[in-house]
Structure 1
Amino acid sequence: MQFIDLKAQYTALKPQIDAGIQRVLDHGQYIMGPEVRQLEERLAARTGVAHCVTVSSGTEALLISLMALGVGPGDEVITSPFTFAATAEVIVLVGARPVFVDIEPDSCNLDARLIEAAITPRTKAIMPVSLYGQVADMAEINAVAAKHGLPVIEDAAQSFGSRYQGRESCGLSTFGCTSFFPSKPLGCYGDGGALFTDDAALAQAAREIRVHGQSARYTHTRVGVGGRMDTLQCAVVLAKLERFDWELQRRREIGDRYGRLLAPLQAQGLGLLAVRPDRDCVWAQYTVFVPQRARVQAALQAAGVPTAIHYPKPAHHQGAYAAYAPVDACPASIAAAQRVMSLPMSADLSEADQDRVVAALADALAAL
């Protein structure tokens, strides 16, 4: 059983993907070829945002967003510690300080009620993470941000295609940033990402930053990075867009079915992720809370069921970021890191394999 079945997806889309790659090989514009603009236009239209800027990774999307906003040394950025390291990493890379605010214990997203108390005169931005494919409480976060005149950057690396109060992830704040890492709901065959904004000036800044700060060839208006998304990767994502709506629907259906099948196991200590009624989840990972995780994982591995942990340590328990918060800060994040476990999930997961996963998990819990 595959944790994420990318081979099945490729088989279903092989003619479109192969043709898209061949077109790039034929025209030879491997950097900033026509597929780059085509993808940006398609994604902007999909999210209802004026500007989409493709970049070399989801991490680069976050970094460029911070740079475009002028975040730098002496500034603070409020974010979640329960996320992949890239979220904190980009804040530190621009010379700013990450300020960690705890998560909601049942959704694992940033707890909007705790943000205002963390704002100081040095706060320059708020960066919530839409974890596991569900958007954080952006209305509340945006309200707090507006009250204090702060921009919001949605780290939507896992949530592209999800909806919040009828609107698309990445179209909910000053910047939305997503990733096209192969395992994401919309993935390429390497690294890639995109940022979204309705602000024309910020979009122009982002476009310049991604090409070493150039406003014209060899005219370096600002400090930038080498952050372009390859034309070949854009061609892959364009091909995958052909069945993306089907994939999103499948992810929602499989997530719902997991929820129904796993509900009885709550009596044995299993915890299910809460999905709020005003939004959906595209299940970039199908993550549950388990007791005695090491034993449960070992039992599932023995049964041929792969699992993963997203994430085993909150950021302030990582050596690189330990100086930014006390070790006992953000207790909900610490507790989640000790219990989360992700199960096999992809649009091509069969019901038979899903049943195997659930049966193996039930057996593992029963044996504790």
Structure 2
Amino acid sequence: MTRQRGRTSRQADIAKEAGVSQSTVSMVLNGTAENGRISAETRKRVLSTARRLQYVPASAQRAPAVRAQALLLGVHTFEPIFPTSTGDYYFEFMRGIEDQAAAESCNLMLFTAARNDSGVRRIYEDGVNGLAQAAGSLLLGHHADRDDLERLAAEEYPFVYIGHREVADGIAYVGGDYRTATGRIVDELVGMGHRSFAYLGETSRHEPQVDRWEGFATALGRFGLAVPEPTYVDPEGLTAQWLDDAVAAGATALLVESVSLLRVLAAMASIRGLEIPRDLSIVVLVDIPVGEVGTRQWASLRVPRHEMGRRAVRLLTGLLTDPAGDHERQVLLPCTYSLEGTARSL
């Protein structure tokens, strides 16, 4: 195929050359081909054609001067997280981003758009992509706006979300493998003699919360143990009666999804005269520094936040410098955990 001089290749050119539909090309280049059941042979043919035609996404074509210098990467947070301290949950993410950006000689630009009525920082304002000044961006935050993510993907703007989010047509993300880690926590608790469990979760059910619950329920199922009805509640809605009922039902191990829920639970346990872990083992399914809730060390799942930040930068720079490359676009990094402090054998 010969291209008109001075015109860059388009996805339509790749589709015609490879003998496939343009939607197939889009799915392959966006990393969602497996979701569409596109064969490995077709994916290989599309990627080979894209390289041969020197295809560059429209978003990358808009900033050719950036590529001749150090890449300028944007960092957008869906909720305010700056300034941050070493004890803040987002600190290790940001340290990982900065460390890897420096290693790859990239510059960082922080985007802090105004919040909407629901408190979420939106990317688009009056239909304009606020991240367009950067060659590509890293997005993070608990309350990601899915409409913004879908629109960025549809416009082929290069970005990587830090966290697990499944969005229509697929997006690039680096998250933690909470499902596997939670399952292993349950495995170990069962090995310690626990047979009756309770589960306390957040009302906001995004993929990370769902992954934790599914890891918990699946592990109990493997042992043939009863899977308790989960309780999803905001901290202000958690009552001492819930704790009384869990203990009365025979629960000896309780898994909690958030530090805010743990604070309320720990206060209620103290009022009830329950000694942890003698009377009840508690594991929190997120990082919690010593002294965050009381002075003790809590058994907890540990999120690889620093490595997630670094891996996200590596993935984004790869997407920018080699758009048609065979990148692993959806990454879940292994999590660790420790049951020291608030979990004991029966």
Question: Do the structures match in fold with TM over 0.5?
Answer: no
Structure with the greater alpha carbon radius of gyration: 2
What TM-score does the superposition give when structure 1 sets the normalisation length? 0.32
TM-score, with structure 2 as normaliser: 0.34
Q: Which has the higher contact order (CA 8 A, sep 6+)?
A: 1
> Is the helix fraction higher in 1 or 2?
1
